[in-house]
Amino acid sequence: QLSDMAFGIRELSKKLGHIRLKLKVKNVFILTKAHDETLIHKTREVVKWLLSYHENDHSYVEDTLKEEPDFDAQGILADPEYQGRLRFWNDELCQKRPHTFDIILALGGDGTVLYASALFQRIVPPVLAFALGSLGFLTKFDYDSYPKTLTRAFSEGVTVSLRLRFEATVMRSRKRAGHDTPQARRDLVEELIGVEAEDAHTHAPEKSWNILNDVVLDRGPNPTMSSIEVFGDEEHFTTVQADGICVATPTGSTAYNLAAGGSLCHPDNPVILVTAICAHTLSFRPIILPDTIVLRIGVPYDARTSSWASFDGRERTELKPGDYVTISASRYPFPSVLPLDRRSEDWIDSISRTLNWNSRQRQKAFT
């Protein structure tokens, strides 16, 4: 009975890794780096292909392209067939009306896909990413085959994998009215999991992000190591003395987590990867936690210096003593479109190809 339950969950999880979606594409969102000349030309090419592909669809490009001579929006709109069908998006539209878009086409590299995640902080339309160089971890389609890829996606639908994102919230320590305790005498452990833990007066949320790769706390410009408190649910896990700490999603396992010595983690795993950055102990080893845990990482009140948090490598934020970041699985995963033709398991290919994982020495004859 219990066994069957466990088995059922496993089957469900398996399906979640490869969900077939039929697409009724009306509005295509196109994402690219608007300051790269080659990309602008290729974007124009794709837009014209899209506009000619089906007469009722709309293509949205970034509004910075409106006046970009290389893109020549006027030239496109001059064609009566295309009139009104080339539109322009801005950040606000992404935030407020994500449902507008049926699919996102990303042109560039893995960084462009991370940018898609940054733009769509809640609901994310399926993201189909074209690599302009070699294929990456997130850019799984070759740009040169875009007409074939898109024709097929529009007619047959796509397969998406739901990538775990984290919701990360900066929590600021509040001055406590009527309390005389000097700041340095306050105790983060006590405030977060002690008897006062429910007291909303100790901290206030400042800002939240949905992130696809990692939250990193580090010592920033400080020459000395950081002291970081780590909490899981209602427990104090450990105090890390290190250059910092990296909390990564499975997608982020091939990014900073890798440099910090973490394991390589298949993107379908529902886990949180916690790795110290240059721990000042011999006995730190990366840990892998379930994504059902709520993590909190913070700077102790008696720390001599601040730490710096970054979110997918952006939004560098100073955390003063007493501040912390809450990290938990986001309700808004990131739907990454998978290749139809490629074999089901391309993650191993990608770590071998991109990271030279387990690449062996050249054969030496006569050894």
Stretch that binds a copy of itself, among 48-56, 57-65, 68-76, 221-229 (CB under 8 A): 221-229
Residue 181 Cβ vs a copy of itself, minimum distance, rounded to whole Å: 24
Check binding of 142 to a copy of itself (CB under 8 A).
no
Distances (CA, A) of 332 to 211, 328, 335: 10, 11, 9
What is the C-alpha separation between 269 and 259, in angstroms, rounded? 20
Indicate whether 188 belongs to the interface with a copy of itself (CB under 8 A): no
Nearest to 290 by CA among 262, 261, 269: 269
- Taking the complex as a whole, the smallest distance from the CB of residue 301 to a copy of itself amounts, in Å, to 18
- By CB under 8 A, the count of residues binding a copy of itself is 112
Q: Which position among 57, 167, 291, 302 is part of the footprint of a copy of itself (CB under 8 A)?
A: 291
Based on its alpha-carbon atoms, the radius of gyration of the chain, rounded to whole angstroms, reads: 23
Phi/psi for 208 (5° steps) reads: -125, 150
Is 266 an interacting residue with respect to a copy of itself (CB under 8 A)? yes
> Interface with a copy of itself includes 345 (CB under 8 A)?
yes
Is there a contact between 305 and 318 (Cβ–Cβ < 8 Å)? no
What residue has token string 């992404």? 94
Mark residues 48-87: x for contact with a copy of itself by CB under 8 A, - for none.
----------------------------------------
Residue 95 structure tokens: 């935030």
Which tokens belong to 309? 């948090």
Contact code string over 294-323 relative to a copy of itself, x by CB under 8 A:
--------------x-x--xx-x-------
Cβ 63 to a copy of itself shortest distance, Å: 21
Among 105, 211, 276, 337, binds a copy of itself (CB under 8 A): 276
Binders in 80-139 for a copy of itself, by CB under 8 A:
108-112, 123, 131-134, 136
Token pair recorded at residue 356: 């030279």
Task: Decide: is 2 part of the binding site for a copy of itself (CB under 8 A).
Answer: yes
Coil, strand or helix: which one is 23? Answer: coil
How distant is the alpha carbon of residue 31 from its chain centre? 16
Tokens coding 178:
């009527």
Alpha-carbon gap, residue 252 to 136, rounded angstroms: 13
Alpha-carbon separation of residue 273 from 79, 193, 297 (angstroms) = 51, 22, 13
- Pairwise CA distance, residues 76 & 146, whole Å: 20
How many residues are recorded in the chain? 367
Using CB under 8 A as the binding rule, whether residue 17 contacts a copy of itself is answered as yes
3-state SS assignment for residue 278:
coil
Stretch that binds a copy of itself, among 5-13, 63-71, 147-155, 168-176 (CB under 8 A): 5-13
Nearer to a copy of itself by C-beta: 341 or 345?
A: 345
Determine which residue in the list 27, 208, 269, 305 makes contact with a copy of itself, applying CB under 8 A. 269
Please identify which residue in 49, 93, 264, 339 interacts with a copy of itself, judged by CB under 8 A: 264
Dist. CA 32–CA 295, nearest whole Å: 33
CB of 84 to a copy of itself, least distance (A): 30
For a copy of itself, which is the closer residue by CB, 171 or 274? 274
Question: 283 phi and psi, to 5 degrees?
Answer: -110, 10
Is 172 a binding residue for a copy of itself by CB under 8 A? The answer is no
**What minimum distance in Å lies between the beta carbon of 121 and a copy of itself?**
13
In the chain, the amino acid numbered 263 is S
Closer residue to a copy of itself, CB minimum distance, 77 or 261: 261
Residues 226-255 that bind a copy of itself (CB under 8 A): 232-235, 237-243, 250, 253
Task: Give the pair of three-digit tokens for residue 218.
Answer: 């580090």
Q: Please tell me what DSSP assigns to residue 284.
A: -
Q: Which of residues 323-342 bind a copy of itself (CB under 8 A)?
A: 329, 331-333, 335
Nearest approach in angstroms of CB 190 to a copy of itself is 16
Q: Cβ 275 to a copy of itself, closest distance in Å?
A: 8
